[in-house]
Structure 1
Amino acid sequence: MAIWVEVRLATARDFSASGACGAALAECARRFRSDIRLSADGHEIDVKTATWAPRLRAGALVQLLVAGQDEEAAIRDLLPLLQAN
């Protein structure tokens, strides 16, 4: 089974590995065994490796897909990082 969640960003986000949000997401995602993918603007990344570096404006719609044995815990911990102001 997999969990798919759409999140509308409250503030602009920098998901690059050097950006604070990207680094925090990758660090958090690596704690889980589940496959964790983030997509926006027609692009998709593996959150654990953060090889794509989008900068998203406030109001952008982001999709988070988590699949694996600890997917519920991963969603619980990752969503606040995406929703923070």
Structure 2
Amino acid sequence: MVTKTRCERCTGNLYPYEGAMKCLQCGRSFGGPEPEGLIQDRRFTRAFKVRAIRRARELGSWSRAAQEFGVDPGGLQMWGYKL
């Protein structure tokens, strides 16, 4: 059962999961076993972008690296062209 509530990170739909809410797109949990205090607000710094790009080039896949870092694959690829 999907609710009308949206994820703060990716605006995906949330659904009930183990006594909490979980995002269908990025998998982030809200209010359950993962305390909100442990979730860091990610402002994408240059160091973060460089690390993500380096990992994408190691893996040979923008989408796999984007999944690891929790970012959009298109955005990650765009960073690769700009940096």
Q: TM-score range by the shorter chain?
A: 0.3 to 0.5
RCO comparison, higher one (Cα < 8 Å, 6+): 1
Structure with the higher fraction of residues in strand conformation: 1
Normalised to the residue count of structure 2, the TM-score between the two structures is 0.32
Q: Give the TM-score, by structure 1 length.
A: 0.32
